[in-house]
């Protein structure tokens, strides 16, 4: 006991003579504790999850123009009718059955590994993913294997804006294809898993883009079922006559 007290007194004397060392040591210990607590408190979500068959309309349909968000529901409904989107599976103000009929099995494994098995009436398969990042709100999955495609170098505004609607882009490595025309690119597919109140969801981002190319010419296209979230900054690219319709829905996963 006397030895312990003696060593403690010596330690305090050293720290008293070197206050900067004491402060630095204290900050180091504080940072280590915060990091340790953060890592320990972050769930791993390891397990097997089955998808629910219902697309949840958790967010309303939102319209954006060059002037910002359109809050008039009457204006949004007129745009939907005018562009023949009333029966489109892209948007819905109520919960609906999954129009594709697909079901999914999500398996989250140790070492940041995951698989998504899909089953459709006509086709089934499985894709392996690495968990690129995780937080309390979201997991970012990146496919282990890449796919390839040709991209036009001088893409028009409609193509570029559609590519920028999802917030999380798919990493690509490209080499020249047709000289001055295309690039041959390999992609690793990105998928997001959202977390809310301890439950996992697959976000279902849908959008419809209509851009004015000339006084009497428009380009338009719609996409749905993207496991992604909306990139709010894309609205800064809109010009007079442009419109984006977007909705963020989701389906839930049930742990087996």
In 3D space, the residue among 118, 117, 115, 150 whose CA is nearest the CA of residue 130 turns out to be 115
Q: Find out whether 57 and 93 touch, Cβ atoms under 8 Å.
A: yes
Phi-psi region of 65 (alpha: psi -120 to 50; beta: other; left: phi over 0): beta
Question: Is residue 28's pLDDT more than 50?
Answer: no
Beta-strand pair 243-255/199-214: antiparallel
Contact 180, 153 (CB under 8 A): yes
pLDDT in tens, 76-124: 999 999 999 988 999 999 999 988 889 999 999 999 999 999 999 899 9
pLDDT of 40 > 60? The answer is no
Beta carbons of 207 and 222 less than 8 angstroms apart: yes
3-state class (DSSP) for residue 67: coil
The answer to whether 223 touches 207, Cβ cutoff 8 Å, is yes
Burial of 201 (0-12, 13-18, 19+ CB in 10 A): buried
Tokens of 104: 């999914």
Q: 165 with 244: CB under 8 angstroms?
A: yes
Residue 138 is predicted with a pLDDT of 95
- For 219-256, what is each residue's pLDDT tens digit? 899 999 999 999 999 999 999 999 999 999 999 999 99
Tell me what pLDDT residue 176 has.
Answer: 84
pLDDT band of 35, cuts 50, 70, 90: very low
Residue 138 to residue 200: CA distance in whole angstroms:
9
pLDDT of residue 182: 81
pLDDT in tens, 204-222: 999 999 998 777 778 899 9
């Amino acid at each position: 006991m006397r030895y312990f007290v003696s060593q403690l007194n010596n330690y305090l004397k050293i720290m008293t003579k070197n206050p900067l060392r004491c402060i630095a040591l204290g900050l180091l210990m504080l940072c280590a504790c915060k990091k340790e607590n953060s890592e320990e408190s972050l769930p791993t979500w390891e397990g097997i999850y089955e998808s629910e068959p219902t697309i949840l309309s958790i967010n309303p349909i939102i319209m954006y123009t060059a002037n910002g968000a359109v809050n008039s529901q009457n204006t949004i409904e007129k745009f939907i009718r005018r562009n023949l989107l009333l029966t489109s599976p892209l948007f819905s103000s109520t919960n609906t059955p999954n129009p594709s009929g697909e079901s999914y099995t999500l398996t989250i494994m140790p070492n940041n590994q995951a698989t998504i098995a899909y089953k459709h009436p006509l086709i089934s398969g499985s894709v392996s993913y690495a968990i690129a990042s995780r937080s309390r709100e979201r997991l970012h999955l990146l496919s282990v294997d890449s796919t390839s495609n040709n991209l036009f170098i001088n893409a028009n505004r409609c193509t570029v804006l559609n590519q920028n609607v999802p917030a999380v882009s798919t990493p690509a490595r490209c080499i020249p294809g047709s000289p001055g025309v295309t690039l041959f690119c390999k992609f690793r597919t990105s998928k997001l898993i959202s977390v809310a109140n301890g439950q996992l969801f697959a976000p279902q981002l849908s959008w419809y883009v209509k851009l004015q190319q000339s006084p009497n010419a428009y380009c338009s296209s719609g996409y749905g079922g993207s496991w992604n979230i909306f990139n709010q900054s894309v609205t800064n690219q809109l010009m007079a006559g442009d419109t984006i319709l977007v909705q963020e829905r989701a389906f839930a996963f049930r742990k087996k």
